[in-house]
Structure formats: C-alpha cells, structure tokens
C-alpha cells in the first residue's frame, strides 16, 4: 500500500516558503470556502502563528504546517504539527519572519504529531479564521477542508474514519503536513499524508493508489491520491494521557 508523508524538503525551504504560502492564499481564493483563510488580524510587531501557518524544521530545510496554536494547563504557548516534521525532541522550529521561535517538546510517531513550545514574545498566537472550536471527527460523506502551506485551502468528501484516522479526497501536497482539517467551523484533525482508505483495500481497488499522482494544485480534483490525517481529539487525548506539554490545550 502506497503511503506518502507531506513534509517538503526542497533545496532551500527558507527561500521557497514565501512562494508556497502565496500559492496557499491563491488556492484559498480559488475555492468557495474562503472562511478558512489565514487570520488577517496580524499585529505589526510580531508574525502570527495559528492553524495554517508555515513552520520550518531541520535548520530551515523542511516545510510543514501548524495545526493550531494556544496554551496548555501550565500556560505554555503551544503549537501542534505532524510528528514526521521533526526528527527528535529538542529540534528547533522556525516561523518565517520570526526566526527560531520554539522547540519540539514532545512527539508521537504512531499518531504522527509533534508538540512545539514557542516563545510568545516572538509570535502572536491566533485562532485560525473561520474556526469556532474543536469538533468531533467527521462522518463518511462529510465535505471537509484543510489548510496547508503548500496547496492552500482545499476541500473534498470524507471517504472513511477508522482508528482515529480521517481519509478524504482533499488536495494535499508536500509542505502541507500538520495542516488543520476542518468540518464546517470545527477543527477536527491534523493532515499527515496520502494513501488509499482501508475501504478501498477491502473492495480490491487499493492498487489504484499506486498510479494516482500526489496533489500539487486544487485544479487536479479529484485525480490525486487521497489524503489522511489524525483526529485532533485523539491527539489531545494522547497528550493528556502522557501528561506531556500541551495537556489541557485550549486554542488561541
């Protein structure tokens, strides 16, 4: 079964992030779901950090996307993103325009998430525009959306939700890993990669995923490999069960 991660490792992600984020904004304009565009209420003094914000790892060589930012029960400034974006606890994380902003303080390779503690003096934590709160996982057939630093805002039907994983036909490309997944005005998941849903395997058509291309732009719809992501409930519950930083997370 073909599984792809969506962490972008260009020759210089630091040089490409601005172009990719511009594509994200254009992508959001090309969809009807403009309510989820990045929050425009940025303070001049500091870059904003919230769902959909680009994050740089590996010394600025790898691009991922923030799921959500906020605070935990110890009032630490926290942001979530995909686990495969980082290689180890302690890795530095950059926000474009702010330099090194924080460090990975916890990560789970099974659920594929990282917890990043950031310096609130370097960025302004914001809630993604159009997101009212967290929500339960979607149902099969629900039209859900994701916001990524590479392909922007894209939407598509939910194929299946199984074992804390959401499978959908949203366009997602490299650099979108960690991006928020929304159902209406609720944050329901974190984008992790691309693969065929289990129901396709059960139906004997899983091999189709071997020939489907990754998605680079929303105009490909629906001819691309389906995306998958972890439910946000599963992530925050796992953090709390381990008493890791991020426990008691509340969105900005």
> pLDDT of 192-225, one tens digit each?
999 878 876 766 665 656 768 888 887 777 878 9
DSSP H stretches of helix in the chain: 13-29, 198-202, 232-242
pTM score of the predicted model: 0.83
Domains of the chain and CATH, by start: 7-129+235-251 (2.40.10.10), 133-232 (2.40.10.10)
pLDDT tens digits for 55-97?
999 999 999 999 999 999 999 999 999 999 999 999 999 999 8
């Amino acid at each position: 079964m073909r599984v792809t991660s969506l962490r972008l490792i260009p020759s210089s992600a630091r040089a490409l992030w601005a172009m990719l984020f511009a594509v994200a904004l254009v992508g959001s304009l090309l969809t009807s779901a403009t309510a989820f565009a990045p929050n425009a209420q940025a303070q001049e003094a500091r870059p904003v950090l919230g769902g959909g914000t680009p994050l740089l790892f590996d010394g600025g060589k790898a691009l991922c996307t923030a799921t959500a930012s906020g605070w935990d029960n110890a009032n630490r400034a926290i942001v979530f993103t995909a686990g495969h974006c980082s290689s180890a606890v302690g890795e530095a994380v950059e926000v474009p325009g702010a330099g090194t902003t924080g460090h990975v303080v916890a990560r789970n390779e099974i659920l594929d998430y990282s917890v990043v503690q950031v310096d609130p003096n370097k960025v302004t934590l914001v809630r993604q525009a159009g997101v009212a709160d967290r929500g339960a996982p979607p149902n099969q057939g629900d039209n859900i959306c994701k916001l990524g630093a590479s392909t922007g805002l894209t939407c598509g039907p939910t194929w299946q939700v199984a074992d804390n994983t959401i499978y959908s036909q949203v366009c997602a490309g490299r650099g979108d890993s960690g991006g928020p997944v929304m159902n209406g005005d609720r944050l329901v998941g974190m984008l992790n990669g691309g693969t065929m849903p289990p129901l396709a395997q059960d139906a004997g058509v899983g091999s189709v995923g071997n020939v489907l291309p990754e998605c680079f732009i929303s105009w490909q719809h629906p001819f691309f490999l389906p995306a998958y992501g972890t439910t946000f409930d599963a992530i925050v519950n796992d953090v709390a069960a381990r008493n890791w930083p991020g426990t008691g997370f509340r969105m900005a």
